[in-house]
Amino acid sequence: MTREDIQGLVLTAVAGVNASRDADQQLPVTPDALVFGPGSPLDSLGLVGLLVDIEDALRDAGHEVSLSDSRAMSQSRSPFRSVPTLVAYIDELLASPA
Q: What are the beta bridge partners of residue 34?
A: 82
Which range is least confidently modeled, 24-28, 31-35, 68-72, 83-87?
Answer: 68-72
pLDDT at 73 exceeding the cut of 70: no
* pLDDT computed for residue 74 by the predictor: 62
Per the structure, the complete domain to which residue 88 belongs is given by 3-95
Length of the chain: 98
What count of Cα atoms within 13 Å lies in the side-chain half-sphere of residue 34?
Answer: 10
Domain count, the chain: 1
